[in-house]
Amino acid sequence: MENTWVANHTVRSDFDLVGLFSQSKHPALLCVVIFVVFLMALSGNTMLILLIHYDVHLHNPMYFFITQLSLMDVMYISVTVPKMLMDQVMGVNKISAPECGMQMFLYLTLVGSEFFLLAAMAYDRYVAICHPLRYPILMNHRVCLILVSSCWLLGSVDGFMLTPVTMTFPFCRSREIHHFFCEVPAVMKLSCSDTSIYETLMYLCCVLMLLIPVTIISSSYSFILFTIHRMKSAEGRKKAFATCSSHMTVVILFYGAAMYTYMLPNSYHTPENDMIVSVFYTILTPVLNPLIYSLRNKDVTKALKKMLNVEFVFQETIK
C-alpha cells in the first residue's frame, strides 16, 4: 500500500478541482452568493450554540443535541467552502494529495457523525413524547454524552475506513476532479485500476451507515405519531408535532441528498447533478438548520428576544 502511495505522487502529487464556478455563466456573482450563504451558516449556527449555552432554560437534552448539530454544520461547511472561495479569488484550482485526503476524512467523519446524531435526536424526541415521566432518567446527562460520543466515534470510523483506501488507488487518468471538493465518488473516477469490489464494499458500508439511523428514526417517529394521535390536549399535540416536524424536515433534506450521492448506481450520476446535490447538503443544509430550529421553536425565539432585549437595555444604560 505504501509503494502504491509513493507511485501515485512521484510524477504529480496534486489534483485539479473543476468545481461549481467552471459550470456557471456568472462565476463572480455565484462566488458572492456562496460567500453570503457561508457567512449566514457560520453566524446562524454560532448564534444558536451561544444562545443554548447561555440560556439556562435551554439546558436540556434536545438543545444539547441541537448544539452538536450546529457544531457539525459549522465544521463541515468550513471544510469545503473556504477552499472553494479562495481558489476562485486567487485563480487557482489545485489541491495536493495530502490536503485532498484530509478534506475527504474530515468530510466523511462529520457527515457520518451527523447521520447518527439525527438518529439520537429522534430517539430523544421518542422518549420525551412517549415516556415523559421517565425522560429525566432515560435521557440524563451521562446518557446524552455517551450518545454524542458514539455519534462522533462512528462517524470517524467511516472516515478512517474510506479515506486511506480511496487515496491509495493509482490515479493514472486525468487529475481533474469534477467536483468542488474531494468527495469519494468523484475521486474514485480518476483511478485506472478496477474499483468495482471497493465500490461494492463502499455501497454496503453506506447502506449500513444510512440504514441503522433510518431504522431508528422511522421507528421513533412511528411511536411518536401514534402517541400524538392519542393525546387529548390539542395544545400538547400541536407542540409535539411542531418539534417533530422540524426534525423531520432536517432528516429528509440531509438523508435524501446522501442517498442520492452514495446509494444510486453510477448510471444515474452526472458531474453536474452530483455537484448540485452536494451543494444542497454541504452548503444549504447548514444554513437551513438554525432557521428550522429557531423560527419554528418558541423556546429559542423567546430566548433570542430576551438576549436582544438585554443587549438593548445595556446599550441604553451606557448612553
24-58: pLDDT as tens digits: 788 889 889 999 999 999 999 998 998 888 888 88
**What is the arrangement of strands in the sheet containing 14-17, beginning at the earlier edge strand?**
94-96, 14-17, 176-177
Residues 296-307 have a mean pLDDT of: 74
Task: Give pLDDT tens digits for 269-287.
Answer: 777 777 878 887 788 888 8
Q: Which fold has domain 14-318?
A: Rhopdopsin 7-helix transmembrane proteins (1.20.1070)
- The per-residue pLDDT of the chain, averaged, comes to 82
Q: Check pLDDT > 80 for residue 297.
A: no
Mean of pLDDT values over 219-235: 80
CA-to-CA distance for 131 and 275, rounded, in angstroms?
42
Give the residue carrying C-alpha cell 443587549.
311
Judge contact between 123 and 213, C-beta under 8 A: no
pTM higher than the cut 0.75: yes
d(CA 116, CA 150): 8
Q: Which of 228, 245, 166 shows the shortest CA–CA distance to 198? A: 166
**Separation in Å, CA 245 to CA 107, 124, 241, 275:** 27, 14, 6, 28
Domain edges within the chain:
14-318
Amino acid at the residue 1 = M
Q: Please report, rounded to a whole number, the percentage of residues in the chain having pLDDT higher than 70.
A: 86
In the chain, the amino acid numbered 241 is: F
In angstroms, how far is CA 319 from the centroid of its own chain? 43
Cα(319)–Cα(308) distance, rounded to whole angstroms? 17
Q: What is the pLDDT of residue 9?
A: 43
